[in-house]
Structure formats: C-alpha cells, structure tokens
Structure 1
Amino acid sequence: MEQNLNLYQIFYEVANCRNFSIAAKKLYISQPAISKSIAKLEEHLHTALFHRSSRGVTLTTEGETLYKHVESAILSLRSGEDLLKSATSQGISHLSIGVSTTLCKYVLLPLLKDFIATNPNIKITISCQSTFETIADLKSGAIDIGLVGIPSGDISEASFISYLPIKTIEDIFVATDTYLAPFLHKNKADSYEFEAFFKEASFIMLDKENISRKHTDTFLNEHQFTLHNIIEVNNMDLSIEFARAGLGIACVINDFVKEDLKNGTLRELKLGHKVSKRQIGFAYPSKIPMTTSMNTLIQYYQMLM
C-alpha cells in the first residue's frame, strides 16, 4: 500500500487531465515515467484503469470506481494540510495535559482561565486520571505534559520522566468535632497517638494505587500507626466530603481544606508526628525537547504558584 501512494497521485492527475503529457508537465516528471507508473498500478490491481486513444485517455468502469476513492483520500489529505498550515501561520499549537481530578480542581483550574486568555493560540486538552496513568501516557506519547504529585525518592522513572516542582504541599488528618468528641473525651487531650484510637477510629483513605496514599502509608509505617477501619475512596474530593459528613478521619492536602479549618467545619488531628511535605509539579518525557507551549505553561504556573 505505502509504496503505491505515489502511483495513486499520478493516477489522480492523469484522470483529471485526461492526458499523459499534460499530467507529466503538472507533476514535473517525464511522460514515459507517467506511462510506466500507470502500467505498474494497473498490473498491481490486475485491471485496466484507462481507455487509451489518440485524443488522450478516459477512465474505464474500474477506473471510475477507483477514482472516487482516490479523490476522496487526496482531498482529505489536502484539507488536513490546509488546516495545519493555517494553524501554523496563526501560531496555534496544541497542548495535552494529564492531571488527577483533585489537582485539576485545586491547582490547574484556578489559573487556567487567565492562562488561556493570555495565550489564546494554545489549544488545551485535559485528561483527568491518576498520576500513574499520566506517567504511562507520557511514556507512550499520548499526552505532552502532566501535573502530578512528584514521587518521593523515586529514581526508577528518572531516565524516562523529568519533574519540575511548582508547589510544596502537606498532608494532614482531619475530621469534624462531632466525630472526634468521643475520642477526645477518652484521651483527655487533643492528641490521638494511642493504639486504642487507631483500632476504633475510621480512616477515609485514597485507594492504594494513588500516589498520595502511598506517601501517607510510608508515614504510617514509619511511626508504626496501624489503621484497622479504612474507608477507601478514589479521589480527595470524596475524602473531604466524607470527613465533612462525619464519617471518619480523612487524610487530605492542607491547602484544600483551609476554609474548613478556618470556619471550624473540620479540625486537624495532632498525631504527635507530621507527614513529611512533598511537591507537586509538571512531568514531561526526558528525552523529548519541551515545546514552546509546554515552556509557556510551566513558566506561567511557576510564576504564580
């Protein structure tokens, strides 16, 4: 098929011109080359495509059938070329971003409206998915850039993925006063580092494949905190909503519940130890040069975060 694409182009021009000599001039090749190409295509398809005469050529019935398909394909290709040339001449570029639902809501979207207004020639596609799916898509080339929680001390992806931090975040445990009241009464203090507390309390956690959950699990293991009752959810928004509803204690990013902590809807638990801070940032393939659009997006967020 691929080796015959040029033959179909020649066939198309001959059919339009109805003359080998005129088609040869239009394609800037010799008439014998035209004749040889048509003969080769007819041999490949095992059928005659043209009726030859002293006045020129006309399509056979089989040639007419082929012409309809070739014309459609060539016009489609030309249309694609025209759109690409138009986009290039106007400076329009496309940027595909992979991001989790939580980071999209709390980090990407708040500044995206102004970014689009400032950069109208960058068309953006957003895929909401887990960090691990984003990394996989970066490797396969399905997306250009990702906004992710940067894996702590993970060097396994170093040769494939580069990270540019834009913000430091901290995970905390929160719950309503109503939910915590019985435990506060038992412990006689605003501290919940007793083994009995971890046996009785319900913890709202992200699923184990989530990078935030992995970071939290590392913290819990380091301090030998064992959770006995876990409610698993697949995004942090649900964790926050479950905590607000008084269903348990959620591990969330502190920036995302600032208003809840301020107005008293939620309270931060003091576990005697703090979860280590981590970073979120942009991820992109290490071996592929960043495009102008990628650089523009990164610089915009680094400046304003």
Structure 2
Amino acid sequence: MDTFDNFSKYKIFLSVAENSSISKSANQLFISQPAISIAIKKLEDNLNTTLFIRKSKGVELTESGRILYDSVKKAFNILSDTENSLRFPESTGQLRIASSNVLCKYFLIPYLKAFIYSYPNTDVSITCTSSAGACAMLNECSIDLALAAKPENIGDANYYSLGKIEYIFVCTPSYFVRLNCRNDEIFEYGNIMLLNKDNISRRHINAYYARNNIYPSHILEANEMDVLIEFAKMGIGISCVVKQFVMSELTSGILTEIKLSNPILPREIGFLYNRLKPFNENIRKFINTGINSLDDVTGCI
C-alpha cells in the first residue's frame, strides 16, 4: 500500500475502532459499509493479523487491534497538532489538560487562574478523570498536559514536579476522645473512611496497610476525598486524606491529625507532557505563570 492508501485505511480503522460499529463509521465517514469492510480486510491482510472480532451488535478490537489503535490514535493526534501549529503560527492556540478531581481543585485551579489572567485569549480545555486516566490520555496524545501522581514509568513523557503530598488520618477531637484508644489502635476500634478500592490513592494506602500488617475492622468508602473530609468533620469516623487539603481545618481545630508510629509514605505529584508531540509553547507559559500561585497549598510540602 502507498502512503495515501495507508492513511485512508488507518482513518477508517480508527473510526470503526472508536464506534465499535461498521455501520456507524459508514455514516460518519460517508462511505458505504462494503467499502469499509474491504478497507479493514485489506489492512488485516497487509498486517497479517486480525484486527476486529465480529459480533452480533458490532465489532470489538482484538489484542493486535488494540495495539494498532494506540499507535494510530497517537499518530493522528500528533498530525492534527502539527497541522494546527503550521496553519495558525500566530494563534494563541489551546491547552488541553487532564487531572483527577481532587488535584484539579487543590493544585490545578491556582495554576489555571494565573494562566488565564496572563493569557486570556488561549483556549483551555479541562478533563477530570483519574490520575491513570490522565496519563493514558497523555500517552495517546489527546491532551497536552496531565496533572497526576508520578507514575512508576513515565514512558514518553517529560515530568515537572510540584512536590510531594502527605497522607494522614484525621477526625474531630471529640471523636478521638470517645474512641478512647492509642493512636496506633484506631484501625481496630475506629470507623476508618477511605477512597474506593479502584482509586490510585487507595491503592497507596492499601500498600501501607500491607507493609505494616494493618487490618482495619470497620471501613467506610467514598468516591471523593472532599466527601471524606466532610465525613470526618461530621464526627462519624477517621478519614485518610491529603494533609495539604485540610490545613485550614487542622489550624482551626475542627479536625485533628492522628500521628502514627509508622507514617504513610508521601507521593510525588506533578505535570507530565508528551515529548514526542510538537512542543506546545502554552505548556511552558502555563507552568511558569503558575509557579507562584501554589504557595497557599504547598507551604507544607
């Protein structure tokens, strides 16, 4: 296949993969269903592999198809970004950012406020997802910048550290008095409130439990850390939260920190951007304008 023929077939492949349907892709691309089927078959023959499993309600990517999809998606996103940078060299452009909800509230918003004030004509798009989701979007080049806990393997990304966040256990002073136990006994007698098991922060806490042979007797789970903070303030249990997010409550005495003999290891967070993409100057502007905006949040990092 020549280059143009390849491009056309990969565009069809991408559409079918994202729609999980040949008929939907036919409507999207204004191509007949037989033409799409032929294009996919030729692509499979050329690559000597099966890309889709045909099912009664559509199609599903095979393992080979998923591998190809990741590469094709990334390539098309890079191509689109390059075209835009060449077509509109003087444009203030756009900045696409993904972040977890909690990092968005406490870390991203101060950066965003400073950036928009300095560069009001730049289009900014924010996607709230998990840290893992943000890194996945960065890997497929569908965003410019991810705010996340530092992954073990940053792959094709460059990393700009914002520092470390500290996990602590907090409750109201009155709840701890009622509990009437030593600090390290809270897991036996207290109502321990944690993020859901599929959350990356929860996995970090579970690893801490495993290392220290801790087995909480009573657990309450929630989707958001803000909910855990509110539950702790209500006096119904002990929440595991990021210390930087409850500094005002600790200072005012609404909440108290329960210090443990073996504290939880801190986690590093920061911005990641894909070095394989054409560099978006707005990334540099965004990070530089926001450096001084985090003083209130990171004073104890």
Which bracket does the TM-score occupy, shorter chain normalised?
0.5 to 0.7
1:275 to partner: Cα distance: 1.4
SS of residue in 2 equivalent to 1:120: coil
SS of residue in 2 equivalent to 1:290: coil
Check the 8 A contact 1:205/1:251 in 2, yes or no.
Answer: yes
Structure 2 Cα separation of the partners of residues 207 and 166 of structure 1: 25
1:118 to partner: Cα distance: 0.4
Residue 129 of structure 2 corresponds to which residue in structure 1?
A: 129
Check the 8 A contact 1:91/1:121 in 2, yes or no.
Answer: no
Structure 1 Cα separation of the partners of residues 287 and 110 of structure 2: 15
Match of 2:176 among 175, 180, 205: 180
TM-score (ref. length: structure 1): 0.64
SS of residue in 1 equivalent to 2:221: strand
TM-score (ref. length: structure 2): 0.65
Check the 8 A contact 2:112/2:286 in 1, yes or no.
Answer: no
SS of residue in 1 equivalent to 2:260: coil
Check the 8 A contact 2:250/2:256 in 1, yes or no.
Answer: yes
1:89 to partner: Cα distance: 6.3
1:203 to partner: Cα distance: 1.1
Residue 117 of structure 2 corresponds to which residue in structure 1?
A: 117
Check the 8 A contact 2:165/2:266 in 1, yes or no.
Answer: yes
The alignment status of 1:290 with 2:286, answered yes or no, reads no
Q: 1:283 to 1:209 in 2, by over 3 A?
A: farther
Structure 2 Cα separation of the partners of residues 234 and 201 of structure 1: 20
Check the 8 A contact 2:188/2:217 in 1, yes or no.
Answer: yes
Please, which runs of 5 or more residues in structure 1 have no aligned partner?
A: 4-83
SS of residue in 2 equivalent to 1:91: coil
Residue 66 of structure 2 corresponds to which residue in structure 1?
A: none
The superposition leaves residues 1-51 of structure 1 with CA deviations (integer Å, 9 ceiling, x where unpaired) of: x99xxxxxxxxxxxxxxxxxxxxxxxxxxxxxxxxxxxxxxxxxxxxxxxx
Match of 1:229 among 218, 230, 239: 218
1:266 to partner: Cα distance: 0.5
Q: 1:111 to 1:141 in 2, by over 3 A?
A: closer
Paired positions, count: 212
1:208 to partner: Cα distance: 2.0
Check the 8 A contact 2:192/2:239 in 1, yes or no.
Answer: yes
Residue 275 of structure 1 corresponds to which residue in structure 2?
A: 264
Check the 8 A contact 1:166/1:301 in 2, yes or no.
Answer: no
SS of residue in 2 equivalent to 1:296: helix
Check the 8 A contact 2:166/2:267 in 1, yes or no.
Answer: yes
Residue 53 of structure 2 corresponds to which residue in structure 1?
A: none
Structure 1 Cα separation of the partners of residues 218 and 158 of structure 2: 37
Structure 2 Cα separation of the partners of residues 135 and 206 of structure 1: 20
Structure 1 Cα separation of the partners of residues 290 and 149 of structure 2: 15
Please, which runs of 5 or more residues in structure 2 have no aligned partner?
A: 6-83, 295-301
Check the 8 A contact 1:94/1:123 in 2, yes or no.
Answer: yes
Match of 2:231 among 235, 242, 263: 242
Structure 2 Cα separation of the partners of residues 289 and 274 of structure 1: 42
Q: 1:216 to 1:289 in 2, by over 3 A?
A: farther
Q: 1:228 to 1:162 in 2, by over 3 A?
A: farther
Residue 148 of structure 1 corresponds to which residue in structure 2?
A: 148
Check the 8 A contact 2:114/2:290 in 1, yes or no.
Answer: no
Alignment of 1:1-305 (within 5 A): 88=88, 91-151=91-151, 154-155=152-153, 158-183=154-179, 185=180, 187=181, 191-194=182-185, 197-305=186-294
One-letter amino acid of the structure 1 residue matched with residue 270 of structure 2: G
Structure 1 Cα separation of the partners of residues 289 and 114 of structure 2: 10
Check the 8 A contact 2:145/2:272 in 1, yes or no.
Answer: yes
Structure 2 Cα separation of the partners of residues 101 and 122 of structure 1: 22
Identical aligned pairs, as a percentage? 33
Higher mean C-alpha deviation, range 159-168 or range 268-277: 159-168
Structure 1 Cα separation of the partners of residues 134 and 89 of structure 2: 31
Larger Rg: 1
SS of residue in 2 equivalent to 1:179: helix
1:241 to partner: Cα distance: 0.9
Structure 2 Cα separation of the partners of residues 177 and 243 of structure 1: 10
SS of residue in 1 equivalent to 2:94: strand
Residue 63 of structure 2 corresponds to which residue in structure 1?
A: none
